């Protein structure tokens, strides 16, 4: 029996021992051996990392006192119709405003549809800059742009950059109180521009987690 999609696109950045781009001040992920196939008959590792490492999704509790943790969010916030807004040609620290989002949505042909059940992804092309000083010079989603998307009723946003903003983190503090979760450090969004797809990004169910690592995929229709 054939599957109801024609292709799967991997949107994750692999987490690598002591060699993963991390937010300034965060420790590198560390992998140590717990058991080996030769000595124990089975191999396994112990990993140590900050929740907000590599490709992950921020839950409301990350910046909202009493907010929902990652495992308590309804799964509908992690899976939905996906659309990519292309901002890959914008200069560093570009401020993405409501008018920019409206224009980008119109260009996708989905401006009338995007709302409940949708996940909006921002293609900035900064994941590829992960080992360079430019990585932290990505554009920001402004408060007015975030409020506009919230008004549409979307479930989540995602971005191929360390985050959707810089300090004082206005996008985080606008999206998360409204239970719009934020996927960060996505990959391969260039392959989804202009495409019809379902986004699947269910995270690890860390009890009380402020975020959860995930390996999101796009199911191309």
Tell me, what CATH number does 181's domain have?
3.50.30.50
Residue 199 domain flag: yes
pLDDT score, position 183:
98
Q: Which residues contact 82 (CB under 8 A, 6 or more apart)?
A: 118, 119, 120, 121, 192, 197, 198, 199, 218
pLDDT score, position 146:
98
Residue 27 domain flag: no
Residue 7 domain flag: no
Domains held by the chain: number: 1
3-state secondary structure of 79: strand
**pLDDT-based confidence at 131, cuts 50/70/90?**
confident
Residue 51 domain flag: no
What's the domain range around 93?
56-220
Residue 120 domain flag: yes
User: Tokens 């949708």 belong to which residue?
Assistant: 118
Residue 37 domain flag: no
Q: What percent of the chain has pLDDT over 70?
A: 100
d(CA 88, CA 186): 14
Q: Are 210 and 69 in contact (CB under 8 A)?
A: yes
Pairing outcome for strands 7-10 and 217-220: antiparallel
Residue 11 domain flag: no
Residue 10 domain flag: no
**pLDDT-based confidence at 1, cuts 50/70/90?**
low
Residue (of 79, 144, 83) closest to 113 by Cα position: 83
Model pLDDT for residues 156-205, shown as the tens digit of each residue: 999 999 999 999 999 999 999 999 999 999 999 999 999 999 999 999 99
Residue (of 11, 193, 180, 189) closest to 109 by Cα position: 193
């Amino acid at each position: 029996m054939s599957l109801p999609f024609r292709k799967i696109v991997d949107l994750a950045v692999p987490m690598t021992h002591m060699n993963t781009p991390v937010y300034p001040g965060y420790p590198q992920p560390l992998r140590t051996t717990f058991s080996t196939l030769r000595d124990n008959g089975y191999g396994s590792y112990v990993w140590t990392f900050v929740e907000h490492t590599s490709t992950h999704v921020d839950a409301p509790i990350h910046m909202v006192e009493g907010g929902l943790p990652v495992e308590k969010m309804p799964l509908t916030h992690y899976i939905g119709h996906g659309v990519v807004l292309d901002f890959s040609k914008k200069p560093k620290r570009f401020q993405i405003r409501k008018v920019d989002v409206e224009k980008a949505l119109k260009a996708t042909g989905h401006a009338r549809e995007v709302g409940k059940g949708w996940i909006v992804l921002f293609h900035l092309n900064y994941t590829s800059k992960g080992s360079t000083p430019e990585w932290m010079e990505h554009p920001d989603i402004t408060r007015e742009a975030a409020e506009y998307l919230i008004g549409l009723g979307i479930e989540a946003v995602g971005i191929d950059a360390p985050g959707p903003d810089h300090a004082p983190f206005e996008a985080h503090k606008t999206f998360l109180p409204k239970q719009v979760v934020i996927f960060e450090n996505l990959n391969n969004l260039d392959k989804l521009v202009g495409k019809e797809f379902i986004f699947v990004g269910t995270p690890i169910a860390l009890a009380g987690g402020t975020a959860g690592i995930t390996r999101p995929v796009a199911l191309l229709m």
